[in-house]
C-alpha cells in the first residue's frame, strides 16, 4: 500500500511523466559512471565552535578529519537548518521542503512521522539509478510504515525512536534512551559504541556499493545527550567540566567516523566523484555544554546559535576548494543540489523550497533565497531577509543586523519599525502557505497558548508517570 501511494504521488508531481518522456536508452546512458555518489553526514547538536576549523573554537576542540574535509571543499559560513531541534530539520532535509508545509513544526509532532504522501530523498535518486542506505538516527516516524526501508532506502542500520539513544546499550531490551537498533525492518541485538557502529555500517555500504552510484545518509546521534563516551577518551580532557569533557570525547569518535568514511571513499576509488555534505542538524545544546561562539543562543532557540551550524560541501572532482562561501544556504537545499548533480529527473517547479547551491559554490551566484523562515509551533519564530533578521518569541519581537552584529547583541526593532513591519509581512505571507501543525503545536501564538502548552506538558508527565 505504501509503495502504491508513493508511485501515485511521484506521478502526480511529474517525476513519472518526465521519466516516461525520456527514451529508455537515454535514461540507461545517464545512469552511467559519470554520476557522483552522494554522502550526507549529519552530526547531532554540534556546537558552531565545536569544530577546530572555526577560528572561534576553544582550545580543547580538535576535529582534524572534519577540518580536512573542509580543506578539500568549501565551508558555508552562513549555513542554516530549517529548525532548531532534531526531527523537524531532518524532515526538511529529507524532502527538500519546509517541514511546516506538512505540519511538522516541532519535535514529536504527530510522532514526527513525515506524511506518507511526501516524497523522500532516496525516492528521487532511484529514478537516476542510485542505491541508498541510511545509518544512524532516523527520528522521522516510529511505526513500520515510516521505517526508512518503506521510504525509499535500500538499507537501514540505526534507530527509529526519538532523539536520544544509549551509546553503549544496543540491545532490544534497552529502555533507557531510544528504540531498538534496526537492521532494515527488524530490531536486532547489537554491541559496541554506537557512533563507531554507525561508521562501520556506512563504510561497509560504501565498499559494497562502489560500482554503481550510491547515496549514503550517515545520521550520527553524536553529540546528542546522553553524555556517554569511553572512559579512556574522557580522561584525555581536563576542562574542569565533566559534561564538556565527555562531549569532547564523543566528538573524537564523530571526527574519526568522518575520517573513516573519507578513507573508504578513497580506497574505493570514488572520492573525487563523491559529493559530500557535512552539517549539524541544529545548534549546539546547552544541556551538553556545547559552544556556539560567536553566535547567541543554543538548540531550541531561533537565535543564530540554534539554527546557524557548521556546514561543509566537498566534491573534489567538480568543486575547487575555494575556502569559504558566504551565500546563505539551508539544509533543505541539499536534496535539490544532489538531484541536480546526479542529473536525474527533476520534479515540477514548486515542489522544493530548497535550491541547487552549486552555482553559489562555484562563485556564479551571490543569492539563493529571498528569505528564510523558522517556526517551531510554540510561539517561537524568525525570518532572515538579506542582512536583517527578526526573532520572535510569543508577543516579543527583536530585530538584528547580522552583517554588523552576528552575535545578535543589539535589538534594533525600536529604531527600525518599518523594517520590522516589512519582514513581519513577508513572514506572515509565508506562514499562510504552511500546513496546520500536527501534535498540538501552534501555527501562530496567542495569549491562550501558554496555558494550553502547560496543560500538554502536564498530560505528558502524567502519562509517563502512569506508564512507570
Residue 21, domain member (yes or no)? no
The number of beta carbons lying within 10 Å of the beta carbon of residue 63 is 25
Cβ neighbours of 29 (radius 10 Å): 10
Q: Is the peptide bond before 149 cis (omega within 30 degrees of 0)?
A: no
Q: Does 197 lie in the same domain as 144?
A: yes
**309 and 419 assigned to the same domain:** no
Same domain, 52 and 156: yes
Q: Is 410 contained in some domain?
A: yes
Question: Is 89 in the same domain as 123?
Answer: yes
- What pLDDT, on a 0 to 100 scale, did the predictor assign at position 465? 63
Domain count, the chain: 2
Please indicate, yes or no, whether residues 215 and 244 belong to a single structural domain of this protein: yes
Give SS3 for 34. coil
* Residue 26 resides in a domain: no
- Answering whether pTM is above 0.95, one says no
Which has the closest alpha carbon to 143: 176, 107, 174, 179?
Answer: 179
Residues 292 and 387 in one domain: no
Q: What is the C-alpha to C-alpha distance for residues 59 and 144, in angstroms, rounded to an integer?
A: 44
Task: Answer whether 257's CB lies under 8 Å from 198's CB.
Answer: yes
Instruction: Name every residue whose Cβ is closer than 8 Å to that of residue 341 and which is 6 or more positions away in sequence.
Output: 36, 38, 275, 315, 318, 358
**Domain end marker among 316, 336, 361:** 361
So what's the pLDDT on residue 463? Answer: 62
Instruction: Assess whether 334 and 269 both reside in one domain.
Output: yes
Nearest alpha carbon to residue 251 among 101, 389, 63, 67: 63
* Per-residue confidence (pLDDT) for residue 344, from 0 to 100: 78
- Contact indicator for 282, 81 with CB cutoff of 8 Å: yes
Domain of residue 211, CATH code: 3.40.720.10
Whether residue 253 sits in one domain with residue 196: yes
Q: Let me know if residue 28 belongs to a domain.
A: no
What are the phi and psi torsion angles at 216 (to 5°)?
-115, 120
What pLDDT shows up at residue 442? 85
Instruction: Note the pLDDT of residue 4.
Output: 40
At residue 19, the pLDDT reads 34
Do the domain assignments include residue 4?
no
Do 207 and 104 lie in one domain? The reply is yes
Residue ranges in 129-286 assigned as alpha helix (H): 194-209, 231-234, 242-267
Co-location of 452 and 425 in the same domain: yes
For 99, the domain range is 37-361
Q: Which of 329, 361, 393 is the last residue of a domain?
A: 361
338, 361, 384: which is the final residue of a domain? 361
| Residue 18, pLDDT score | 33
Inside any domain, residue 200: yes
388 within a domain of the structure (yes/no): yes
Asked if residue 405 and residue 326 are part of one domain, the reply reads no
Q: 333 with 393, same domain?
A: no
Residue 421 sits in a domain whose CATH number is 3.30.1120.10
Low-confidence ranges of the chain (pLDDT < 50): 1-33, 110
Would you say residue 17 lies in a domain?
no
Amino acid at each position: 500500500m505504501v509503495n502504491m501511494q508513493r508511485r501515485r504521488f511521484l506521478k502526480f508531481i511529474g517525476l513519472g511523466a518526465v521519466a516516461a518522456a525520456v527514451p529508455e536508452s537515454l535514461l540507461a546512458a545517464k545512469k552511467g559512471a559519470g554520476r557522483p555518489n552522494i554522502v550526507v553526514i549529519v552530526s547531532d547538536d554540534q556546537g558552531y565552535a565545536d569544530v577546530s576549523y572555526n577560528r572561534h573554537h576553544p582550545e580543547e576542540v580538535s576535529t582534524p578529519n572534519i577540518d580536512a574535509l573542509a580543506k578539500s571543499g568549501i565551508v558555508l559560513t552562513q549555513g542554516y537548518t530549517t529548525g532548531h531541534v532534531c526531527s523537524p530539520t531532518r524532515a526538511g532535509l529529507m524532502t527538500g521542503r519546509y517541514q511546516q508545509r506538512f505540519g511538522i513544526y516541532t519535535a514529536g509532532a504527530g510522532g514526527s512521522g513525515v506524511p506518507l504522501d511526501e516524497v523522500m530523498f532516496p525516492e528521487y535518486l532511484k529514478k537516476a539509478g542510485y542505491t541508498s542506505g541510511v545509518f544512524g538516527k532516523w527520528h522521522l516516524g516510529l511505526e513500520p510504515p515510516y521505517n526508512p526501508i518503506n521510504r525509499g532506502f535500500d538499507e537501514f542500520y540505526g534507530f527509529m525512536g526519538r532523539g536520544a539513544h544509549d551509546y553503549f546499550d544496543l540491545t532490544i531490551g534497552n529502555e533507557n534512551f531510544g528504540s531498538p537498533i534496526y537492521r532494515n525492518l527488524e530490531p536486532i541485538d547489537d554491541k559496541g559504541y554506537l557512533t563507531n557502529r554507525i561508521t562501520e555500517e556506512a563504510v561497509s555500504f560504501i565498499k559494497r556499493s562502489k560500482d554503481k552510484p550510491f547515496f549514503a545518509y550517515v545520521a550520527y546521534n553524536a553529540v546528542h545527550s546522553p553524555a556517554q563516551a569511553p572512559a579512556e577518551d574522557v580522561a584525555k580532557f581536563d576542562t574542569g567540566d565533566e559534561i564538556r569533557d565527555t562531549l569532547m570525547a564523543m566528538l573524537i569518535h564523530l571526527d574519526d567516523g568522518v575520517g573513516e568514511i573519507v578513507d573508504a571513499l578513497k580506497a574505493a576509488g570514488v572520492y573525487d566523484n563523491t559529493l559530500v555534505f557535512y552539517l549539524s542538524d541544529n545548534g549546539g545544546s546547552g544541556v551538553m555544554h556545547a559552544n556556539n561562539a560567536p553566535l547567541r543562543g543554543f538548540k531550541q532557540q531561533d537565535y543564530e546559535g540554534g539554527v546557524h551550524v557548521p556546514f561543509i560541501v566537498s566534491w573534489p572532482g567538480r568543486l575547487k576548494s575555494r575556502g569559504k562561501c558566504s551565500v546563505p544556504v539551508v539544509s533543505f537545499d541539499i536534496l535539490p543540489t544532489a538531484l541536480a548533480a546526479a542529473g536525474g529527473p527533476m520534479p515540477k517547479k514548486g515542489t522544493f523550497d530548497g535550491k541547487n547551491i552549486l552555482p553559489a559554490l562555484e562563485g556564479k551566484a551571490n543569492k539563493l533565497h529571498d528569505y528564510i523562515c523558522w517556526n517551531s509551533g510554540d510561539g517561537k519564530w524568525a525570518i532572515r531577509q538579506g542582512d536583517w533578521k527578526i526573532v520572535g518569541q510569543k508577543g516579543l519581537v527583536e530585530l538584528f543586523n547580522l552583517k554588523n552584529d552576528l552575535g545578535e547583541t543589539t535589538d534594533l526593532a525600536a529604531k527600525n519599525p518599518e523594517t520590522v513591519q516589512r519582514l513581519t509581512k513577508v513572514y506572515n505571507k509565508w506562514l499562510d502557505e504552511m500546513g496546520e501543525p500536527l501534535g498540538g503545536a501552534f501555527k501562530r501564538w496567542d495569549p491562550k497558548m501558554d496555558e494550553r502548552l502547560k496543560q500538554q506538558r502536564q498530560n505528558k508527565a502524567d502519562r509517563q508517570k502512569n506508564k512507570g
